[in-house]
Structure 1
Amino acid sequence: MADGYEFVVVANRLPVDRTVGDDGEQHWTRSPGGLVSALEPIVRSSGGAWVGWTGAPDDDTGPQEVDGIELRPVPLSAEDVDRYYEGQSNSTIWPLFHDLVEPPVHRRPWRQAYDSVNRRFAEATAEVAAHGATVWVHDYQLLLVPAMLRALRPDLRIGFFLHIPFPPVELFMQLPRRAELLRGLLGADLVGFQRPHAAQNFLQLAAGLLGLEPDDDRVAYEGRTVVAQAFPISIDVAETDRLAADPDVQREADRLRAELGGDRRLLLGVDRLDYTKGIEQRVEAFGELLAEGVVSNDEVVLVQVATPSRMRVAQYQQLRERVEREVGRINGEFGAVGRVPVHYLFQSRSPAELVALYLATDVMLVTPLRDGMNLVAKEFVAARRDEQGALVLSEFTGAAAELDDAFVVNPHDVEDLKRAIVAALDAPPDDRAVRMRRMRARVQAHDVDHWAREFLAALA
């Protein structure tokens, strides 16, 4: 479109993955994930554009149209990936925004690369957006883009949504160039967060760091009004329900139960292998329950799916070693020939495979030390059409505010984890059904489409 696109999404990644077939031709397939499910139909129906990285270093792929969406790749060199993405984004901002679960690393070249890459995203967006267009920027990798884009294109309506937690004032103040990052977000007209207290943290920073004067959920800045509100993200409920009703998925769930020992009750964890997810504490709690004789290898089995993530970052490599060492110790001490208490899968699973696991599960363990929302909890609830299964849920997830019929737990407290696991295992079927019914109603009423519509209506 010669004069630009009326709606533009800006995210670190494009909504598609590129593969090269045996014929040498390139093919694009839709990336998994709730964000793509929510926004792809809106971008397509509006004839919009999506600005992002292809996911491959030194990829010079030019603009593409795929399924009615204009894709504008922002190329990143291997050095950009190392410094902007693995460095400043995931070794500095990520741990600090997650309450310092791991110490953040501060390096000047990383900050310089972050600035440079954010500027390239802003420039690419300015080129494709029509006059007066709506632009929706996403997540912690692009905190500087709203202000950079505002400087280039003051005619645009700019929204920003942060998918991870926003830290309290005393943590944010530790960041080098903290005022610049805050001004980056203030370039937006609407800044969205997962939880109300995150929006409050943002407004308190605007007052304390920049001397602004917030009024309720808004603050005047450079002649504009910036609004900060909570918009809890959700999942594609219809797609999860479709998979749960699929006879092939149901047969796979039956097979899994039989293979894991049909007489044993199944505990399940599904996480990226990340130090914020509480995997170590979860495995430790289960090991202690076995050691104390509260549960036995003949009665209960834990399946932990750990999706590989950021494995070039040293903290993630060390986490993998610690988890696998503890799983080996537990299996060696409490297992039997052909029957182990912990099945640890360091691999990705398809959506259908995950739903089959959800259907086979007695107790779902979603126990991050800190999480903006956690969509696995909502996927599990949406999948349980039988209104059975129990959810053990960390109080430090955004989901806990919505799914308060879960067995809510402090994941930092191993004794509390053990208590919640036992309570969920021992809960009567009618109690589990009542809890699940209420949680399902909440998730069904607030799906990912509702989230996107609510944000865009507020931005408009």
Structure 2
Amino acid sequence: MSAQQSMEEVTVPRDGYDFVVVSNRLPVDRDVDEAGNSSWRRSPGGLVSALAPVMAQRDGAWVGWHGAPDETLEPFDHDVFHLVPVMLSELEVKRYYEGFSNATLWPLYHDVIASPEFHRTWWYAYRRVNERFARMAAETASQGATVWVQDYQLQLVPRMLRRLRPDVTIGFFNHIPFPPTEIFSQLPWRRAVLDGLTGADLIGFQRPGDAQNFQRCVRKYLGVQFTKGAAQFSESTAEGTDTTWTVNAGSYPISIDVDSIKELADSPEVQARAREIREELGNPETIFLGVDRLDYTKGIGHRIKAYGELLHDGELSVADSVLIQVASPSRERVDSYRQLRELVEGMVGRINGQHDTISHTAIRYLHHGYPFEEMVALYLAADVMLVTALRDGMNLVAKEYVAARRDRSGALVLSEFTGAAEQLRQAVLVNPHDIDGLKEAMLYARDMPRAEARKRMASMRRQVLTHDVVDWSQRFLADLAGHARAGRDTPADAATGAAEHGSSDRGSHDE
């Protein structure tokens, strides 16, 4: 039985919502006090900040997992959000999230920096969970609603949702890179994933290259050609009628909540904390800063290696320079992440053991998260920001640093393999695999003339402050509405795609 046949249509709710966001996690975190009482608080992050006003204006709901396995919650309201929790079992978290999403798709979509694992049990869990998310969205959306699905954990939801609710407008945004055909071809379920994605009216990617990779994969594995970023698909329903829609794919680089960062950077308390950080470090001449999740895509090891060699070469000394490396914990139940932590902490220990003095430390390594106020204080305190990702869809830390540099001082060393590099061209761009080149870039950033540094930072700030996360969401949603109207006006016999090109369950070579 095909997925199309197995997913029965749902009844359009009378009290449904006109705008529905679907993501792996809800936009809230649970707080538990010492007495065991729990409450909810809004999650930090640009996506939540960008969509909160849309939720308030358009009668919105958010579908997602609430973070606790094996717990079922009824829908509830918090802040401006109507929240629709999706239940995940402990086994589904292990297989769908830790397994297929983060040990299969994540490394595959990041140029196979780590080897992806392919397990059918993970895939089956991923498909089952995506069906649950699609059904919850279908049961939440009003007639003709707009549904915006977020990220790689839910790539099957658009087509599943279209089969359940062909009346809704569907957007999808991929927050991570999309790989070229040579890499994507390794995925045993490649056609099923493409079939899922092409259920959307508009698919957004971080970079034009990601959109082009997706279009090439669709042409190769589904046999459908994109023309000027658009392709037409049709599918037969269980009743024997055809439904036709146009899929648009393009670049919509995400950004940050500029206003909140500017407000914190202007705060006397945060500015005082930045000065205090420098004093606690002994007022070094240069503070280098790295802020990342502890992830193998971030190039943390390359950065630390380059810094250690600069100390060994005598180009830097612990008396006048320090590297602060914030590495927030990430996916610590996944083997590759545990191994990375051991590697990074070993490197830091060896460098500090060789170069520390009684009064100075070479690398301040901080393996825990911080409140955002502290992060902005670190941005203000740092002279050189190091973003050396080996592959990154965007990298918002780079933009946050730029937004925080209110006096236009500071220098940004930025990997050319980040999406941000296409927008922040006045950064000192580097290939992080080139350790010698990275060392030269770090020294150049340290020694950059003040006038040049201010000119570069002013240019980057104009870009970031103009194109914030609100601008990103507004552009995507405006285009989604426009493309959906145009696509539904297209005659069915003009479609170049066909249902047989998009089978999510057929084909033993893709199972």
TM-score bucket of the superposed structures, by smaller chain:
over 0.9
The equivalent of 1:87 in structure 2 is 99
1:395-406 aligned within 5 A: 395-406=416-427
The equivalent of 1:263 in structure 2 is 284
Question: Aligned partners of 1:3, 1:330: CA distance in 2, in Å?
Answer: 61
Length-normalised TM-score, structure 2? 0.89
Choose the corresponding residue for 1:435, options 456, 461, 484. Answer: 456
1:48-63 aligned within 5 A: 48-63=60-75
* Shift of residue 23, structure 1, vs aligned partner: 5.9
- Could you say what secondary structure the match of 2:41 adopts? strand
> What one-letter code is carried by the residue in structure 2 that aligns with 1:125?
A
Length-normalised TM-score, structure 1? 0.99
CA contact under 8 A between 1:47 and 1:68: conserved in structure 2? no
The equivalent of 2:23 in structure 1 is 11
Deviations for 1:80-112, whole angstroms, at most 9, x for unmatched residues?
A: 100000000000000000000100011110000
Choose the corresponding residue for 2:222, options 195, 210, 218. Answer: 210
CA contact under 8 A between 1:203 and 1:219: conserved in structure 2? no
Q: Does 1:354 pair with 2:355? A: no
CA contact under 8 A between 1:15 and 1:40: conserved in structure 2? no
Choose the corresponding residue for 1:188, options 192, 196, 200. Answer: 200
Q: Does 1:131 pair with 2:143? A: yes
* Shift of residue 325, structure 1, vs aligned partner: 0.5
> What one-letter code is carried by the residue in structure 1 that aligns with 2:24?
N
Deviations for 1:340-396, whole angstroms, at most 9, x for unmatched residues?
A: 110000000111000000000010001100000000000000000010000000000
1:372-411 aligned within 5 A: 372-411=393-432
- Could you say what secondary structure the match of 2:297 adopts? coil
The equivalent of 2:114 in structure 1 is 102
Change (3 A) 1:24 1:304: closer
The equivalent of 2:362 in structure 1 is 341
* Shift of residue 58, structure 1, vs aligned partner: 1.2
Q: Does 1:156 pair with 2:168? A: yes
- Could you say what secondary structure the match of 2:24 adopts? strand
* Shift of residue 22, structure 1, vs aligned partner: 5.0
* Shift of residue 196, structure 1, vs aligned partner: 0.6
Question: Aligned partners of 1:421, 1:240: CA distance in 2, in Å?
Answer: 25
Deviations for 1:214-254, whole angstroms, at most 9, x for unmatched residues?
A: 11111111121100010000000010000000000000000
* Shift of residue 25, structure 1, vs aligned partner: 4.5
Choose the corresponding residue for 2:58, options 42, 46, 49. Answer: 46
Choose the corresponding residue for 1:325, options 318, 325, 346. Answer: 346
Question: Aligned partners of 1:360, 1:65: CA distance in 2, in Å?
Answer: 39
Question: Aligned partners of 2:261, 2:326: CA distance in 1, in Å?
Answer: 18
Deviations for 1:402-458, whole angstroms, at most 9, x for unmatched residues?
A: 000000000111111101101100101111000000000000110000000000000
Question: Aligned partners of 2:178, 2:466: CA distance in 1, in Å?
Answer: 26
- Could you say what secondary structure the match of 1:373 adopts? coil
Deviations for 1:327-347, whole angstroms, at most 9, x for unmatched residues?
A: 010001011013111000000
Deviations for 1:184-235, whole angstroms, at most 9, x for unmatched residues?
A: 0000000000001111111111111111121111111112110001000000
- The higher-RCO structure (CA 8 Å, 6+ apart) is 2
The equivalent of 1:456 in structure 2 is 477
* Shift of residue 52, structure 1, vs aligned partner: 0.2
1:224-373 aligned within 5 A: 224-373=245-394
Choose the corresponding residue for 2:177, options 142, 149, 165. Answer: 165
CA contact under 8 A between 2:152 and 2:175: conserved in structure 1? yes
> What one-letter code is carried by the residue in structure 1 that aligns with 2:373?
A
1:412-431 aligned within 5 A: 412-431=433-452
CA contact under 8 A between 2:14 and 2:142: conserved in structure 1? no
The equivalent of 2:127 in structure 1 is 115
- Could you say what secondary structure the match of 1:386 adopts? coil
CA contact under 8 A between 2:107 and 2:113: conserved in structure 1? yes
Question: Aligned partners of 2:220, 2:151: CA distance in 1, in Å?
Answer: 23
Aligned residues: CA RMSD: 1.0
Question: Aligned partners of 1:419, 1:86: CA distance in 2, in Å?
Answer: 38
* Shift of residue 26, structure 1, vs aligned partner: 3.3
